[in-house]
Amino acid sequence: MDSKISKIGVFTSGGDAPGMNAALRAVVRASIFYKKEVHGIMQGYEGMISGDIVKLGARSVGNIIQRGGTILKSARSKEFRTPEGRAKAYQNLKKHGIDALVAIGGDGTFTGLHKLYEEYAIPSICMPGTIDNDLTGTDFTIGFDTATNTAVEAIDKIRDTAISHNRLFFIEVMGRNSGYIAINSGIAGGAVATIIPEESMSLDDLFAKLDEGGKTNKKSSLVVVAEGSKLGGAMELAKKFSERNNYFDIKVTILGHLQRGGSPTYFDRVLASKMGVAAVEGLLAGEKDCMVGILNNKVVYNSFADIIDKHHEIDSESLRIAKILSI
């Protein structure tokens, strides 16, 4: 273990994700287990710049493993993108004696931490916290499982009213430019079609599939749309379909930020806990400028240089299964 590290700073950054508190709890308690001080940095990089930093103890993170959001708060910082902003952040870290960092966030968080390491050589490890599951180097990101379960629960309820009223629902889920939530909730929710950024389904293909359902007296249909779809969002697709077909009563539901909140699933709690311990142990073992991930149920450390700006591709098997089951 690296005896040079005495104080670890931990923060959450970017979009919140269920399980961030569980990850924070794991970092704090693992740090204390290894007899290291740990400090929480409020509001992500903004708190690093303003000096909003507090010492944390084992009891500071009690009763948070089941809570959504992040008790450290989160923010996106324009100032940190400048050399002057990062200089302020570094001075505040020095002032508090922090000599290593653990961040919980997504690709924007990675980029900021990588830049700080390049300029000031502070050992740092990031944990992948994003509902999008779009980061390479890990099978799952913290928050993805909870967000997908939330989407599936909503889809199940929407199906009840769709069946009752002979309706076609376009349901938009989050994920930015990643279709992971869409494809998995589409399979689990029995969608007739799933529109994702990674697949090039045409409008004609979608219309043909929906028209086929109408011709065979299909009483309801659900189309799951990823918010980053190249064909357009749920509102736009519903408008285009209504202009050429009046068989279904067409409705739209945009789940939005509903998917970010709520108590994390057991899977996200365990994933976050494993990654939190691995982040601390990695730092103390000399790992730095990297992201901790779990591949095939094993902890791995991915260099930022190898993963930044790379996309976690959806496996072709999920796409194949979705098509087979959507008839």
pLDDT at 305 over 80: yes
pLDDT at 220 over 80: no
Q: What is the pLDDT of residue 216?
A: 62
pLDDT average, residue stretch 15-19: 95
Q: For residue range 289-302, list pLDDT tens digits in order.
A: 999 999 999 999 99
Answer whether 238's CB lies under 8 Å from 43's CB: no
pLDDT at 204 over 70: yes
Q: For residue range 243-281, list pLDDT tens digits in order.
A: 877 667 899 999 999 999 999 999 999 999 999 999 999
Q: Which residues, other chains included, contact 93 with Cβ-Cβ below 8 Å and sequence gap of 6+?
A: 9, 48, 101, 122
Cα 228 to Cα 216: distance, rounded to the nearest angstrom: 31
Q: What is the pLDDT of residue 246?
A: 65
Cα 208 to Cα 241: distance, rounded to the nearest angstrom: 11
Q: Give the residue carrying structure tokens 């285009």.
A: 240
Q: What is the pLDDT of residue 179?
A: 95
pLDDT at 228 over 80: yes
Question: What pLDDT band is residue 210 in, cutting at 50, 70 and 90?
Answer: confident
Helix axes 144-165, 180-189, angle to 10 degrees: 40
Q: What is the pLDDT of residue 119?
A: 97
Question: What pLDDT band is residue 3 in, cutting at 50, 70 and 90?
Answer: low
Active site residue 156: no
For the entire predicted model, the pTM comes to 0.94
Of 326 and 110, which is predicted with more confidence? 110
For the chain, count helices (H), then strands (E): 11, 11
Question: What pLDDT band is residue 76 in, cutting at 50, 70 and 90?
Answer: confident
- Half-sphere exposure for 157 (CA within 13 Å, toward CB): 7
Return the bridge partners of 126, or none. Answer: 103, 291
Q: What is the pLDDT of residue 214?
A: 63
Of 308 and 95, which is predicted with more confidence? 95
pLDDT at 47 over 60: yes
Q: For residue range 145-168, list pLDDT tens digits in order.
A: 999 999 999 999 999 988 888 788
Per annotation, catalytic residue among 16, 99, 107, 132: 132
pLDDT at 2 over 60: no
- AA letter at 11: F
What percentage of the chain exceeds 90 in pLDDT? 78
Q: What is the pLDDT of residue 71?
A: 97
